[in-house]
Structure 1
Amino acid sequence: MQHLLLSVFLASLLKISFGADWCYQSEFTCENQCNAPEKWDHSKEACAGKKQSPINIVTRKTIPDDHLTPFRFLNYQDAFRSVIKNNGHSVQVAIPNQAKVEGGNLVMPYKAVQFHLHWGKNGGPGSEHTIDGEQYPMELHIVHMKQHYTSLGEALSDPTGVAVLGFFYEQSISSNRKYEPIINALKNIKDTSANTSLGPISLDHLIPPRQNLTSYYRYMGSLTTPGCSEAVVWTVFEKPIPLSKSQLQAFSELEFHDGKPMVGNYRPVQPLNGRPVYRSGGTVVLASVAVMLGSVAMAMGLAQPN
Structure 2
Amino acid sequence: MNFLCLSTLAILCRLASSAEWCYQTQVTCSNHSCIGPDDWATVAAACGNNKQSPINIVTNKASTDSRLTPVQFTDYQERLNAVIVNNGHTVQINLPDRAKINGANLGSTYKAQQLHLHWGKNGGPGSEHTIDGEKFPMELHVVHIKEEYNSLEQAVGDSSGVAVLGFFYEESENANKNYDAIINSLTNITHPESNAELGAISLDMLIPNEDLDKYFRYEGSLTTPGCAEAVVWTIFEKTIPLSKEQLSAFSNLTFSDGAAMVNTFRPIQLRFDRPVYYSRSYIFHVSTILLVSSVFTSLCVLTV
Whether these two folds match at TM > 0.5 is yes
CA distance in structure 2 between the aligned counterparts of 1:98 and 1:104, rounded to whole angstroms: 19
Q: CA deviation at 1:217?
A: 0.2
In the TM superposition, what are the counterparts of 1:1-306 in structure 2 within 5 Å? 20-33=19-32, 34-96=34-96, 98-209=98-209, 211-281=210-280, 285=284
Whole-Å separation in 2 of the counterparts to 1:155 and 1:168: 25
Is the contact between residue 18 and residue 43 of structure 2 (CA under 8 Å) also seen in structure 1?
A: no
Shift of 1:285: 4.1
Q: CA deviation at 1:97?
A: 5.0
For 2:281 and 2:92, locate their aligned partners in 1 and report how far apart those are by CA, in whole Å.
Answer: 30
Equivalence for 2:8: none
- In the superposition, relative to structure 1, how do residues 18 and 29 fare at CA in structure 2: closer, same or farther (>3 Å)? farther
CA contact (8 A) 1:62 1:278 kept: yes
Contact kept? 1:216, 1:283, Cα under 8 Å = no
- Do the aligned residues in 1 keep the contact of 2:173 with 2:243 (CA within 8 Å)? yes
Contact kept? 1:191, 1:255, Cα under 8 Å = yes
RMSD, aligned α-carbons: 2.0
Are the structure 2 counterparts of residues 39 and 145 from structure 1 closer, same or farther at C-alpha, using a change threshold of 3 Å?
same
Gaps of 5+ in 1: 1-15, 290-306
Q: How many residues align?
A: 274
C-alpha distance in structure 1 between counterparts of 2:62 and 2:55, whole Å: 13
Per the alignment, in what secondary structure is the counterpart of residue 270 of structure 2? coil
Q: Is contact 2:68–2:282 with CA below 8 Å preserved after alignment?
A: no
Letter matched to residue 236 of structure 2 = F
Q: What are the Cα deviations for residues 81-139 of structure 1, in whole angstroms up to 9, with x where unaligned?
A: 12110000000000125000011101111000000000000000000000000000000
For residues 50-99 of structure 1, the C-alpha deviation after alignment (integer angstroms, 9 at most, x for no partner) is: 00000000000000000000011000000001211000000000012500
Q: 2 CA distance for matches of 1:27 and 1:18?
A: 16
Decide whether the 8 Å contact of 2:97 with 2:111 is kept in 1: no
Secondary structure, counterpart of 1:31 in structure 2: helix
C-alpha displacement of 1:37? 0.3
Amino acid at match of 2:211: N
- Separation in 2, partners of 1:188, 1:223: 28
- What code does the residue aligned with 1:242 have? P
> Deviation at 1:18?
9.2
1:54, 1:199 → 2: CA distance? 32
- Detail structure 1 runs of 4+ shifted over 2 Å in the superposition: 16-19, 281-286
* In 2, Cα distance between equivalents of 1:260 and 1:139: 21
| Structure 1 CA distance for aligned equivalents of residues 146 and 43 of structure 2 | 28
8 Å CA contact 1:165, 1:236 repeated in 2: yes
Q: 1:194 to 1:130 in 2, by over 3 A?
A: same
Structure 2 counterpart of 1:74, one-letter code: T
In the superposition, relative to structure 1, how do residues 283 and 196 fare at CA in structure 2: closer, same or farther (>3 Å)?
Answer: same
Q: Residue 281 of structure 1: CA displacement?
A: 2.5
Query: Does structure 1 retain, via aligned residues, the 8 Å contact 2:168–2:240?
Result: yes
* Structure 1 residues 202-224: Cα deviation after superposition (integer angstroms, max 9, x where no partner): 00000000x31000000000000
Distance between the aligned counterparts of 1:285 and 1:248, measured in 2?
35
Task: State the alpha-carbon separation in 2 of the partners of residues 246 and 196 from structure 1.
Answer: 20
Paired residue type of 2:27: F
Runs of at least 5 residues in structure 2 that lack an aligned partner in the other structure? 1-14, 289-304
Report the Cα distance in structure 2 between the residues aligned to 1:129 and 1:282, rounded to whole angstroms.
Answer: 22
Matched AA of 2:171: Q
| Secondary structure of 2:188 counterpart | coil
Cα distance between partner residues in 2 of 1:145 and 1:247: 30
Equivalent residues of 1:80, 1:97 under 8 A apart: no
Question: What amino acid maps onto 1:36 in structure 2?
Answer: G
- TM-score, normalisation: structure 1: 0.86
Distance 2:280 2:169 in 1: 22
